[in-house]
Chain A
Amino acid sequence: MKNRFFLVVATVAAVALMTSCGKVPQANIDAAVAAIDSAKTMQADIYLPGDFAALNDSLTVINQAVEAQKSKLFKNFKDVKVKADALTVVAGELAGKAVVKKDEVKAEAEALMTQAKALLEETKTLIAKAPKGKEGKAVLDEIKGEVTVIEASLTEAQTLFDGGTNYMQVLDKVKAANEALTAINTELKEAIAKVRR
């Protein structure tokens, strides 16, 4: 009787031991996936692409670890659970960082846009003051045409900026416009200075 009792206790203990760590921590994995999705919603894939790719790599490792444990006779998902929880935390942090980065890029694009608009106005004023020497009118006409195109490009950039989808694209567009305007501006200032000398 006593022996049978010990046998039952031993069996229950063995089963408990074998099953206690043998369940896939699905809730933890789902939380990690949700955190990655949330980071993507915050556009971490656009503003912090390297870090976002690392999150996906970690999820791949977790999925592999799950299947590796499932392949064993005695399963242990403790490590998977720890990794999934860590991933949830990191993904959450990255979502926050993406928001900060996006705000930084937005501020940079906004500042550059303001600079470009000021440069545009200055260029228009310089055009009016520019000397009209030999071929001067033709050059000025060309410059005027160029400024019109740049202005249209800046309007396009403003529309993209107002849409708020991707401030990186806005930044590139405004950078190009700014470079072109700076070149025209310098050319005009040099021409005006030459006449004054």
Chain B
Amino acid sequence: MRGSLIKKLIYIILITVFLGLLGWLFIALIPDPPLTELELASKAVAQARDNNSVIYSARLFREAQSLYDSAMISWRTENSRFILFRDYERVKMFASLSQKKAAEATTNTIVRANGMRLSLKTEIESLNAEIAEFEKVFLSLPLTQETAKKHARGKLLLREAEIDFNKGQYVSGNVKVTEAKEYITASYAYARRTLEDYYKGYNRWQELVKATVDESRSTGSYAIVVEKIPGLCHLYHAGKKKYTFEAEFGSNWIGDKTSRGDMATPEGRYEVTKKLSGASTKYHKALLLNYPNKEDIEEFNYRVQNGHLPADSRIGGLIEIHGDGGKGGNWTEGCVALRNNDMDVVFRHSKTGMAVTIVGSTITLEKYLSTIN
């Protein structure tokens, strides 16, 4: 009886130990969940997102995110299997790759954002300098309204880019600065080209001015030299510059006059044909010039014959140096306007037949630009 009880007790102990071992084995065989790996990956992805990798390193960030999603899907799939048959190796692999890609995106973003910040800063500074030069040099040129509008649009976009830059939004700042650059550079290039094209006549201008001044010197007479670019009218006597006055021209003053109504002031060597004052002029006092001269007529005929001007074009005339100037800007229909006081001086020293030479400038383009800057 006692022996059988001991036997039973031994059996119970053995079964308990066996079941205990089995339970321990079962628990020991359950694989550890990849929680740490997933946590690290999600933190790395969040960090990449927070430093704007979605903008600066879009591809790497997308890859990191997609690898994280794959890790979660694999985890779910493994969890749906019998507990002892689960294998989290793929989950860990995806998580680790996701973490790596996210870290790569973060590093790449730091480098790119910094590079973009620097290049944006440089671009903004350079465009601001271009705008300042444009406004200093080209503002007085008779540019098209379209060019002026382009310049203004570029200027406003650059301001918007500056706001983005100050907020650290380098990508949208970069987009705006690129658009601003197109407008600013286009208007700058157009203005510069206009001036360069105009300056192609520089050698001829030099010859004309030299001939006029030489003639004034050799005859001891008065002569007038008008420079359009600086907007000046010089009165010479015996080859020496006696007076210099500010002058205003036709609104389309750049280039030579080609026909009636083009609002351009003619360029070349002219003479005073009539002195007008009192009731004979509405501009205080005036010196009528012999425009069109022989050269102008030849040029006009050539242009009409070659279709550069419509067949019914007219050459125009009644070009004067007159008073009522000082209005600011170039407002005449092709004449040269001086302030009344200045006109009085010029009128006093002039006589019929006096030489009047109108040119673009007596200084080179480079010198002009360096003077302004």
* Contact between chains at B139 and A138 (CB < 8 Å): yes
Interface size on B, residues (CB 8 A): 43
- Picked from B46, B145, B151, B329, the residue with its CB within 8 Å of the CB of A137 is B329
- Chain B residues with CB under 8 Å of A179's CB are 159
Given A57-B46, A68-B35, A73-B30, answer yes or no on A137-B155 (Cβ-Cβ < 8 Å).
no
Looking at the assembled complex, report how far the CB atom of B118 sits from the nearest CB atom of chain A, in whole angstroms.
22
What is the bound-complex CA distance between A60 and B40, given in angstroms?
12
Among listed A99-107, A111-119, A139-147, interface-contacting one: A139-147
* Contact between chains at B140 and A135 (CB < 8 Å): yes
* Contact between chains at B35 and A138 (CB < 8 Å): no
Within 8 A of B (CB), among A145-172: 145-146, 148-150, 153, 172
* Contact between chains at A177 and B139 (CB < 8 Å): no
What is the bound-complex CA distance between A73 and B79, given in angstroms?
11
Looking at the assembled complex, report how far the CB atom of A54 sits from the nearest CB atom of chain B, in whole angstroms.
9
* Contact between chains at B49 and A53 (CB < 8 Å): yes
Whether, in the assembled complex, A70 has its beta carbon less than 8 Å from a beta carbon of chain B, the answer is yes
- Picked from B33, B155, B163, the residue with its CB within 8 Å of the CB of A175 is B163
* Contact between chains at A134 and B246 (CB < 8 Å): yes
* Contact between chains at A73 and B33 (CB < 8 Å): no
Whether, in the assembled complex, A64 has its beta carbon less than 8 Å from a beta carbon of chain B, the answer is yes
Question: Chain B's interface: helix, strand, loop or mixed, by majority?
Answer: helix
- Chain A residues with CB under 8 Å of B30's CB are 72-73
Whether, in the assembled complex, B309 has its beta carbon less than 8 Å from a beta carbon of chain A, the answer is no
* Contact between chains at B75 and A67 (CB < 8 Å): yes
Given A64-B38, A67-B76, answer yes or no on A142-B156 (Cβ-Cβ < 8 Å).
no
Whether, in the assembled complex, A71 has its beta carbon less than 8 Å from a beta carbon of chain B, the answer is yes
What is the bound-complex CA distance between A149 and B155, given in angstroms?
10
Given A71-B86, A72-B33, answer yes or no on A135-B156 (Cβ-Cβ < 8 Å).
no
Among residues of B, the one whose C-beta sits closest to the C-beta of A169 is B172
* Contact between chains at A67 and B72 (CB < 8 Å): yes
- Picked from B49, B76, B86, B139, the residue with its CB within 8 Å of the CB of A139 is B139
Instruction: Known A-B contacts: A71-B79, A140-B329. Give 14 more (CB < 8 A).
Output: A57-B42, A64-B35, A64-B38, A64-B39, A71-B32, A72-B33, A73-B30, A137-B327, A145-B145, A145-B151, A148-B152, A176-B163, A177-B156, A180-B159
Query: Which residues of A pack against B, CB within 8 Å?
Result: 53, 57, 60-61, 63-64, 67-68, 70-73, 131-142, 145-146, 148-150, 153, 172-173, 175-177, 179-180
